Amino acid sequence: MQLRCYNCHRPFSLSRDAIYAALDKVAAENLTHYDVPCPHCRRVNRVSPKELRRAAPNWKEPTSDKE
Ligand SMILES: [Zn+2]
């Protein structure tokens, strides 16, 4: 997934593993966005779950099968 930093305007990519981890975190903590630090300037970029899901269409929301 390619992102462009809002601060320094340089492109950087998010690996599929990172996207899956982000989606897990968003689902677990019920977040409205995910913070991705720019590798160039370290500013945090906000990515919406919708964008993450588009980049990882096979991701499934974790189901709590405990209890
Ligand atoms: Zn940046």
The 3-class secondary structure across 22-42, one letter per residue, is HHHHHHHHCCCCEEEECCCCC
Question: What is the CA(5)–ligand 1 centre distance, in A?
Answer: 5
Report pTM.
0.83
Write out the two tokens for 22: 């982000």
**Domain map of the chain by residue range?**
2-55
Question: What is the CA(22)–ligand 1 centre distance, in A?
Answer: 19
Residues 6+ apart with CB under 8 A from 29: none
Full pLDDT tens readout for the chain, 67 residues: 999 999 999 999 999 999 999 999 999 999 999 999 999 999 999 999 999 999 999 999 877 665 5
CA dist 1 to 17, 36, 54, 65, 66, Å?
A: 11, 12, 9, 30, 32
